Structure 1
Amino acid sequence: MLILGFESSCDETGVALVDASGSAVPRLLGHALHSQIEMHQAYGGVVPELASRDHIRRVLPLTDAVLAQAGLPLSAVDAIAYTRGPGLAGALLVGSGVACAMAMALGKPVVPVHHLEGHLLSPFLSADPPEFPFVALLVSGGHTQLMRVDGVGRYELLGETIDDAAGEAFDKSAKLLGLGYPGGPALAKRAEQGSATAYKFPRPLLHSGDLDFSFAGLKTAVLTQVKRLAHARPEGPATPQLAEALDAAQIADVAASVQAAIVEVLVKKSLAAIESTGLNRLVVAGGVGANALLREQLNAACQKRRVRVHYPELHLCTDNGAMIALAAGLRFQAGLLPDAAAAPAYHFDVRPRWPLSELG
């Protein structure tokens, strides 16, 4: 079963081909990705219309590149998967439209995939794939969730953010420090030169007794500290000039202190989820899962508790087509897809807002 997957939910165009034959974990045959970071940097964030237009330009050349890597013609593909949501509506429509049109032309089934399920299952493409059941820390963009995962399609929400997600806290803090877009990696890089104890930022809900997250208060605390360092009025607006008033050492210390606060919350909540479920396996997925400090502290804490930790390969932490094709392949192996012999339905829709809890 050869599955071609398309990812176009935000600012990366991803295409990949996996082989889901037999019962082994689907094997990645080809993978190509184009990031729009350089295009959006001038605006300080993703411009949805520009993102959609760029997906249109990139998706077919990337498909050709993936098929060339695999040494296979398009006619060899057995099914085509695409990201249905969540994400930017216009960007999602590009991937879904191309996937459905291509599948119709080939007379092959089309498989809509949940973007977060793709992230959740992406560690199965790593050199050290997990086994079910496990606890998953999903930290992707505007999502921060802890899930119990008993199998493909068998997900129980343990806790989630009630306001800002971890990725948003990284990005918004980076913007306050004038570190540009994308903010998370830039903040982590600058934090390497700073002190994690320079400023005592709050760890929201750290002792709440549940597994929920909250990072909005942390963002406000960072804004307050930046204004204090810039000698700005507390009630004044957050302007780019604030960061210009800070020296390099101050920026590095704020970055390191912010990162330490976010990582501590993620680590302690993950350990609490492990303890409450009695499981001994943790999967970390999503863009924030690439953060070096998070991996270092999770690895150390879990080693003490004899808990195995699994991550996607670093190049598969961001949005990519491989995770979409993989999710479709694992669903096929689990018997969760419609009969491929049945008449495929090529009408499509997208779901910009789509809770993972609604996925069966």
Structure 2
Amino acid sequence: MIVLGIETSCDETAAALVRDGQDVLGNAVASQIKLHAGYGGVVPELAAREHLRAMDVVVNEALAEAELDASAIDAVSVTCGPGLIPALLVGTSYAKGLAAALGCPFLGVNHFLAHIYGAFLGHPEVLADAGAFPLLALVASGGHTALVVIESTGRARIVGTTLDDAAGEAYDKGAKILGLGYPGGPVLDRIAKTGNPKAHKFPRGLTGGGGRPLKPEHRYNFSFSGVKTALLYATRDKELDEAALADVVASYQQAIVDVLVGKTIRAAAEYDTPTICMCGGVACNSQLRADMGAAAAKAGRQLVLAPPKYCTDNAALVGGIAYHYLSRGIASEMSLSVSARLNHSLGTVPFAPNAQ
């Protein structure tokens, strides 16, 4: 089955053709980073207009890369949320129209679950191994930071989420405070490589530090607003040379990484998950990948990392996970609406080995 995936949840317009959930035949992404850089973040209305301009282009690029005609498409899938409403509407409207024209099934996909599936594109052996489950997924991006336990039956539940800023948002806002531009993740990662991560002591939110006991219900929740504020006060009205800036960035990055790694490893122990997967744009961060790898190995857990090209928003994730729904006869009605918020009731994840 060849599924066309479409992604327009934020500031990437993407299309991909995926065969049987694994074989990415064509994958095209049009980025809007330059468009939004001057604003320090994504402007929803501008994003939607750019999606309109780029939609046909990326679909045709994906088809050309796959050396296929549109008639080869067996189904059309699209991100329907969570995300920016104006942006989501462009993608879903296009997908509905194309599916109607081709006379093929249409499916709306949860963007959050698609990110998790990104860790398994190229790792089908994990999905086929019931012994790898239950697994713990860390989803860390600009819009989400959450820990999800997935059973071999496909039952999924969020056991921890952010109470304020997501990890990726903390990177972007931190970079903005330091005048380093947008997006912040890649530039912070690069600068931190030459800095001392112990030069500054930034807070680790919701870890029980600072002499205040951590409420049990928050043991796997995240909060990154405090570290962002601490960065603001630590650097306000200060001239930072290259070395001083690197130390600040390395320390700030390490504070975020420590929280992500620590809570993930503790949750894996509590929920007895032999496998940890890490996905989302923040999973591109080199320090996070290194520290999570070392911690998972020490804890005796298998770590599955989404390849960097499948960490950020792209349509291969959408077309990949869609196959597992469609092959079970699950499709969406043309009346499907979009949603800005994450529904914490994730339902059954279709790619688990014993999914019902």
Q: TM-score, normalised by structure 2?
A: 0.90
1:77 — aligned with what?
Answer: 73
Write the mapping of 1:93-112 to structure 2, written as runs, cut at 5 A.
93-112=89-108
1:274 matched to 2:268: yes
1:10 deviates by: 0.5
Q: Is the 8 A contact 1:123 1:129 kept in 2?
A: no
2:4 — aligned with what?
Answer: 4
Q: Summarize deviations over 1:242-270 as a string: whole Å, max 9, x none.
A: xxx33222221111001110001111101
1:332 matched to 2:332: no
CA pair 128-147 structure 1, distance change in 2 beyond 3 A: same
Q: Which amino acid in 1 is paired with 2:76?
A: I
- For 2:307 and 2:248, the matched residues in 1 are separated by 29
CA pair 15-129 structure 1, distance change in 2 beyond 3 A: farther
Counterpart pick for 2:227 among 209, 218, 223 = 218
1:26 deviates by: 3.0
Write the mapping of 1:180-259 to structure 2, written as runs, cut at 5 A.
180-207=181-208, 208=214, 209=216, 210-227=219-236, 230=237, 245-259=239-253
- For 1:171 and 1:152, the matched residues in 2 are separated by 37
1:353 — aligned with what?
Answer: 341
2:44 — aligned with what?
Answer: 48
Q: Which amino acid in 2 is paired with 1:124?
A: F
| Percentage of matched positions with identical amino acids | 44
Task: Name the Cα RMSD after superposition.
Answer: 1.7
- For 1:353 and 1:152, the matched residues in 2 are separated by 25
Q: Which amino acid in 2 is paired with 1:166?
A: A
1:146 matched to 2:147: yes
Q: TM-score, normalised by structure 1?
A: 0.89
- For 2:267 and 2:66, the matched residues in 1 are separated by 40
Q: Is the 8 A contact 1:10 1:87 kept in 2?
A: yes
1:317 matched to 2:311: yes
1:183 deviates by: 0.9
Counterpart pick for 2:284 among 290, 294, 310 = 290
Bigger Cα displacement from structure 2, 203-212 vs 29-38 = 203-212
- For 1:255 and 1:277, the matched residues in 2 are separated by 33
Counterpart pick for 1:35 among 27, 31, 35 = 31
Counterpart pick for 1:299 among 287, 290, 293 = 293
Q: Is the 8 A contact 2:22 2:124 kept in 1?
A: no
SS at match of 2:248: helix
Q: Which amino acid in 1 is paired with 2:228?
A: K
- For 1:45 and 1:14, the matched residues in 2 are separated by 19
Q: Summarize deviations over 1:85-125 as a string: whole Å, max 9, x none.
A: 11111110110010000011111111000111100111121
SS at match of 1:327: helix
List gaps (5 residues or longer) in structure 1.
232-244, 339-343
SS at match of 1:206: coil
Q: Is the 8 A contact 1:160 1:212 kept in 2?
A: yes
1:346 deviates by: 2.1
1:337 deviates by: 0.9
1:307 deviates by: 0.9
Would you say how many aligned residue pairs link Structure 1 and Structure 2? 335
- For 2:153 and 2:311, the matched residues in 1 are separated by 19
